[in-house]
Amino acid sequence: MSATERNLKGAFAGESQANRRYIFFAEVAQREGYRDVASLFKRTAEEETEHARAIFNMLYPQITTKDALRMALEGETLETKMYPEYAETAEREGKAADAAELRRLLNEAKGHFELFAETEKKHAEAYKKELENLFQEYEKPEAPDVPTTKPYIFLSELTIQNHSRRMGEKRQIS
């Protein structure tokens, strides 16, 4: 993986997280009556989405619905493995915690993780069903230990002509 590809992936994670965070920050500001601050967070959140979109288009320039379903299934499958482990950890730490408030928080975290594990399973099943229905894919990918999601074709693999054609198309659309 080139340094720029790694940077793009990191930037995508950061922009995506900033988007969600600002949306929730806007709710905090709204709750406290700071309407202008809430609007500022919402406006900024939208721009972060556009940054994330620009990076997404670079990371996955030729992504198809089938690719998207496979990657989504891979992510959800990973989470169905991850959340039960997170729940166990929260339970273990909760039992070891001295302060009642910390025990309560860890117990709450455990509850969330257990619930998420169930929901992610449903998400994975729904994606798998569509892969089977639309693309006749029956094999269930094993949950990888680490996320292995890769762009299907990275920028450097595309020819310059291909790239400029794509950019031209995009300009016409927007």
Residues forming contacts to Fe ion in the complex (CB under 5 A) are: 15, 48, 51, 120, 123
Task: Dig out the tokens for 94 from the structure.
Answer: 């909760």
Q: How far is the CB of 146 from Fe ion (least distance, A)?
A: 18
Question: How far is the C-alpha of 69 from the C-alpha of 82, rounded, in Å?
Answer: 20
In terms of phi and psi (left: phi > 0; alpha: psi -120 to 50; beta: otherwise), the region of 154 is: beta
Residue closer to Fe ion, measured from CB, 48 or 74: 48
Cα gap 149→72, rounded to integer Å: 9
Q: Compute the least distance from the CB of residue 145 to Fe ion, in Å.
A: 19
User: Do 19 and 49 contact (CB within 8 A), yes or no?
Assistant: yes
Nearer Cβ to Fe ion (9/103): 9
Give CA–CA dist 31/171, Å, rounded.
Answer: 40
- Where does residue 98 rank: exposed (0-12), middle (13-18), buried (19+ CB within 10 A)? exposed
Dist CA 119 CA 151 (whole Å): 26
- When the beta carbons of 6 and 104 are compared against Fe ion, the nearer one is 6
The minimum distance between CB 19 and Fe ion, in angstroms, equals 8
Q: Which is nearer to Fe ion, 115 or 167 (CB)?
A: 115
As measured in angstroms, the least distance from the Cβ of 50 to Fe ion is 8
- Nearer residue to Fe ion within complex by CB, 35 or 53: 53
Closest separation in Å from C-beta 15 to Fe ion: 5
